Structure 1
Amino acid sequence: MPTKSAPAVMLFSLLCGTSASAAGFTVTLSPTDPALRCGAGVTPTLSFGTPPSGTKALAIIFWDQQPSKLTGRWIVYDLPLSTKALAAGKVSLTAVAGGKAGVNEAGQQGYTAPCSAGRHDIYIDFYALKVASLGLPAGAPLQRVHAAIKANKMLEAKAHVTLTIK
């Protein structure tokens, strides 16, 4: 089984957008989160900053960029506006902190950890949505959820960490 080496880059919380009123809208992931280990049985622990005024719900997509492909590993949507963090939980949960989990590109509902050897750029996209619900059931596929998010997003924040699996 592959093992994770020390992160190559420290975590940065980044704001995408130029609105000064959205300056506190952030997402944070620790580069030592146990969920980043191959075979992890838990979801990542994430913390969130304050969403912009007018936000009705929140969503996240956990992306894994490798040199040859981009994989959606975890999709959570319809999170209540009161959500300030996502604690580690079972990888197969269909309900997460009052929101819903979608089916990732591994064909699993919930989270799958990165395992293939090589460099992984992990991105967490955190979305402020202008609707209270995307109108999708739990278990919706990544492509449907992503399209609905893009159609209803007010603002997006990103976190990034790089790791190498040997």
Structure 2
Amino acid sequence: PKDTKSFVLIVEDLDAPGGVFYHWSVYDIPSSVYELKEGTKEYLQGLNDFGNIGYGGPCPPPGKPHRYYFNLYALNISSLGLPKGATIKAVQEKIRSHILGSAFLFGLFKR
């Protein structure tokens, strides 16, 4: 959207046994960026629910497929002011009042 200064990407599994499981958060992505390259370390990444900073791939229990949502948020600020390794809760709280628009992509994965 017009006036976008940065993006945030949050990846979540809505079908995890204990509730929503967060696989990745990337924040302070400049509005000029149109792709995230594999293994990127260019942008700030948050703590995922595996307990690591960065992306954690899908690994559902065997059986039913899980829905993985890739949520992209356009923000009216260039930085959340959070350090590397911020919790998903901190990222969500910071973006709440700065979202200009959003889009999502979802895929299914099963073992």
Query: Contact 2:10–2:70 at 8 Å: present in 1 too?
Result: yes
Q: SS at 1:140's partner residue?
A: coil
Q: SS at 1:62's partner residue?
A: strand
- Identify the match of residue 3 of structure 2 among 50, 54, 70: 54
Q: SS at 2:97's partner residue?
A: helix
- Identify the match of residue 77 of structure 1 among 2, 27, 30: 27
Q: Which runs of 4+ in 1 moved over 2 A?
A: none
Distance (Å, rounded) in 1 between the aligned partners of 2:10 and 2:47: 11
Query: Contact 1:64–1:72 at 8 Å: present in 2 too?
Result: yes
1:83 Cα offset (Å): 0.6
In the alignment, is residue 146 of structure 1 matched against residue 92 of structure 2?
A: yes
TM-score, normalised to structure 1's length? 0.61
Summarize the alignment of residues 104-115 of structure 1 with structure 2, pairs less than 5 Å apart: 104-115=48-59
Structure 1 portions without partners, runs of 5+:
1-51
Distance (Å, rounded) in 1 between the aligned partners of 2:102 and 2:47: 21
Give 1 or 2 for the bigger CA radius of gyration. 1
- Identify the match of residue 120 of structure 1 among 59, 66, 81: 66
Summarize the alignment of residues 129-140 of structure 1 with structure 2, pairs less than 5 Å apart: 129-140=75-86
Distance (Å, rounded) in 2 between the aligned partners of 1:62 and 1:130: 21
In the alignment, is residue 156 of structure 1 matched against residue 111 of structure 2?
A: no
The size of the alignment, in residue pairs, is 108
Q: SS at 1:143's partner residue?
A: helix
1:67 Cα offset (Å): 5.5
1:116 Cα offset (Å): 2.7
TM-score, normalised to structure 2's length? 0.89
Q: SS at 2:55's partner residue?
A: coil
Greater mean deviation of Cα atoms: 138-147 or 114-123? 114-123
Q: Name the aligned partner's letter for residue 62 of structure 1.
A: V
Distance (Å, rounded) in 2 between the aligned partners of 1:141 and 1:81: 22
Query: Contact 2:60–2:110 at 8 Å: present in 1 too?
Result: no
